[in-house]
Every structure is written in C-alpha cells, then in structure tokens.
Amino acid sequence: MPVNIVAPYLLTALLRGPRRLVYLSSSSHFGGHPSLNGVDWRGLSAGSYSDSKLFVTALAAAVARLRPGVLSNAVDPGWVPTKMGGPSAPDDLELGHRTQEWLATSDDSEALTTSGYWYHRQRQQPHRAVHDEGFQDRLLQTLAEETGTAL
C-alpha cells in the first residue's frame, strides 16, 4: 500500500500544476475489492496487491474528475519479464512503458483524453468501482486522513 497507492496519492497532492499524470496500474486491479476497511496503509502487514492497484486506478479517475485541467490516466504495462514479473512473463518489456510515455508526451488526440485505463495504447474498461464517485471520494478521504494531506 505505501508504494502502490499512498506514494502516488501524496505525490499527486503535493505536485502543483502538472498537465498530465500517468499512474501505474495492473490487470490485477480486476481482482481488487473496493473496500477500505482494515487496510494497513503503512504497510506493516502484507496488503493485497490487487486492492492497491484498484485503489491507484480509482485515484487516476478521481483526479481526472476533480482536476479538469489535468489529463489523468492509469496504465497496465502488462505482465512483463522483470524481477517482479519473472523471466517467463509473456508480455513485451518494451511495450510495457510505451503507453506511459505516449500518454505523458504525445499530442495524438487519443493521448489527450483523461480518466482512461490503458493497455498497449488501447483504452480498456476498468473494474466497475474505478468510476464509482462514492468509492473515489471515500478513498480520497481515507488517504487524506492517513497522510494528513488533502488532495
């Protein structure tokens, strides 16, 4: 939780004036549960990777809603061969970062959209909780309380 959602939340809250934000999600977010009960935000006990990726994907959508001048998107780089993914991961490591770079820098009309969940430059439908404004608001309120920093 500290790495996958608390840090992105704090960086977002503390940055002034970004035009584009790209959050690192995962297809694992589909296995996440939109419940904030019992979450160890400090990471003293093992948390759910899937939950953390659902939370950061919802953060991206919340920022898109609450900061209309900022393009905010979440990217699933795929299951790539890294230390975490392992050597037999099926996705292409090169493709893993290309969508992030494209969303951060491109002037293509598709890259100039917001509130998307992307996989290899294709917009995908995320977990249904991602665009639930009530869940987004509860997540932001909880993170503000946990960090002492409001978005």
Residue pair 48/128 in contact by the 8 Å Cβ criterion: no
- The encoded tokens of residue 29 equal 């977010």
Q: How far is residue 6 from each of residues 41, 50, 122, 128, 143, measured CA to CA in Å?
A: 7, 15, 27, 21, 7
**Helix or strand run (H / E) with residue 21:** strand 20-24
Beta bridge partners, 11, equal: none
Choosing from 23, 53, 117, 119, the catalytic residue is: 53
Catalytic site includes residue 23 = no
Choosing from 49, 83, 117, 119, the catalytic residue is: 49
Residues carrying an active site annotation: 49, 53
